[in-house]
Amino acid sequence: MARHTISDFVNTTQQKDRGEGLFELEGNRLLEINLDGRVWTKAGSMVAYQGNIKFIREGILEHGIGKFLKRTLTGEGTRLTKAEGQGSLYLADSGKKISILNLQGDSIFVNGNDLLAFEEGIQWDIKLMKKVTAMLAGGLFNVKLEGKGMIAITTHYDPLTLIVSPGNPVITDPNATVAWSGSLSPEFKTDVSLKTFIGRGSGESIQMKFEGKGFVVVQPYEEVYLQAGG
């Protein structure tokens, strides 16, 4: 077991400014946002801050009736908080690993539970997985983000990115799928033989199939989401 004096511990774990810009990582499980304005963050993800920062819960109809109705259908959905002001904001999500992506006018789909933060100027919308929601133990939804700016996503352990190319589809477990490129539109399929063999509740019997050209991000962990009121 490592032993430290208090001085050693402080020096080892002290926050260090790396000069990486708006989003930078403190280790791989804490995100520092060098805030000067506004960002969107996952509700409940703030662990600390310094400076003059205020937090505002997203208004029910702030993004229009369409997104409100999608929230209703997805239960809790993606609950967001606006962080405004100047200072250093630190975010985390259950110790999950954080990856920072810098969008350059492109787009990406992210599982709603794996989206940690994004810049205000990025356009976003909730996309319902209508065909699969009734098939899984928990409703599945994702968020499409596009434009220019940084986003932060989370994964249980290290993410793995698989390349999708014409004639070489990628098939994944929905509960282990974190994100995919905006050019892809997954299809859902049920493996009847596997479903019969393992049982009706088996996650492996429901699969996401990605065809075309792009990428898919998966994690070595299956997240199970509960329905609202479940």
Phi-psi region at 144: left, alpha or beta (left = phi > 0; alpha = psi -120 to 50): beta
Lowest mean pLDDT among 2-16, 35-49, 83-97, 157-171: 2-16
**pLDDT classification of 8: cutoffs 50, 70, 90:** confident
pLDDT band at 123 (very low <50, low <70, confident <90, very high): very high
pLDDT band for position 139 (cuts 50, 70, 90):
very low
71-118 tens-digit pLDDT? 444 444 457 889 999 999 999 999 999 999 999 999 999 998 899 999
Q: What is the mean pLDDT of residues 127-150?
A: 71
Q: What percent of the chain has pLDDT over 90?
A: 54
Mean pLDDT along residues 61-65? 46
Average pLDDT over the chain reads: 81
Average pLDDT value for residue range 5-24? 78
> Where are any strands of DSSP class E within 123-200?
123-128, 141-155, 160-164, 170-172, 177-181, 187-190
- pLDDT value at position 58? 65
The pLDDT, as a whole number, for residue 131 is 56
Listed residue (83, 202, 85) closest to 152, CA to CA: 83
Beta-bridged to residue 125, according to DSSP, are: 144
Q: Which domains are delineated in the chain?
A: 20-218 (3.60.160.10)
228 — pLDDT class (breaks 50, 70, 90) = very low
8 Å CB contact between 165 and 216 = no
